[in-house]
Amino acid sequence: MNLNEMMKIAERGHEFIAYMNGFYSLEHGGIYAGEMRFTQEDIVDGISDYFKNEDALRGIMQYGADTVDRERVRDIILMKRGELVIN
């Protein structure tokens, strides 16, 4: 991976964090913040885990994050907290 690719990943990551904040962040008054109560650390950790999926990262790099990506990261965070169990 070259420097330009790393910078693009960082840029997309910051965009995705802002997008997640608008929905779930307590610190940013997200739409679902009262229900989900995600911290900035929760969001960053969830996105970091999600970016480990090469297909997901490729899609975000090409198109940006969308609702499906946001909900998948939400579920990752909830699973890490033990609040969501997928059978």
Measured CA distances, 67 to 6, 7, 20, 37, 54 (Å): 24, 23, 10, 19, 18
Helix residue ranges, H only, 25-66: 33-36, 40-50, 54-63
Whole-number pLDDT of residue 86: 79
Q: Strand, helix or coil at 5?
A: helix
Quick one: how far is CA 7 from the chain centroid? 17
64 token code pair: 């940006």
Give mean pLDDT, residues 22-45. Answer: 95
Instruction: Convert the pLDDT of each residue in 13-26 to its tens digit.
Output: 999 999 999 999 98
Backbone angles phi, psi at 53, to 5 degrees: -80, 110
34 token code pair: 């009262």
Q: What is the pTM of this model?
A: 0.92
Asked whether the beta carbons of 19 and 65 are under 8 A apart, the reply is: yes
pLDDT band at 87 (very low <50, low <70, confident <90, very high): low
